[in-house]
Amino acid sequence: MSIKIKKADEVYQPKKLKASIVKSGAERKTVLEIMKNIKVKRGMKSSDIRKKVTQMLKKLEPKAAKKYAKKRKKILRFYITK
């Protein structure tokens, strides 16, 4: 199933989301739980998905949540300075 999210009609790719959660240092059990419980709807903004994931990580693994949020700030800085 492909769900378009609001970011230049980007298609939601669970593999990309999972990879970014793994890079945050979250444990495998946490990653699987988040992937199981994340609800992505058509037309949803990628920033909304990120907020939901961050909220879940804060409850399950606060340290990984900080790293996950920090990565987003680096991405924003790249686009702003470009």
Average per-residue pLDDT for the chain: 82
Q: Could you give the number of structural domains in the chain?
A: 1
To 5 degrees, how large is the angle CA 5–CA 8–CA 11?
A: 40
Q: Which of 17, 6, 14, 3 is nearest to 57 (CA)?
A: 17
Residues 42 and 64: their CA atoms lie apart, in Å, by 27
Report H helices in the chain: 14-23, 28-37, 46-60, 62-81
What pLDDT is stored for residue 12 in this prediction?
Answer: 84
pLDDT of residue 34 exceeding 50, the answer is yes
Question: Tell me: the pLDDT tens digits for 44-72?
Answer: 888 889 999 999 999 999 999 999 988 76
Q: Strand, helix or coil at 6?
A: strand
For residue 43, give its domain range.
4-81
The more confident residue out of 51 and 78 is 51
What pLDDT is stored for residue 3 in this prediction?
Answer: 58
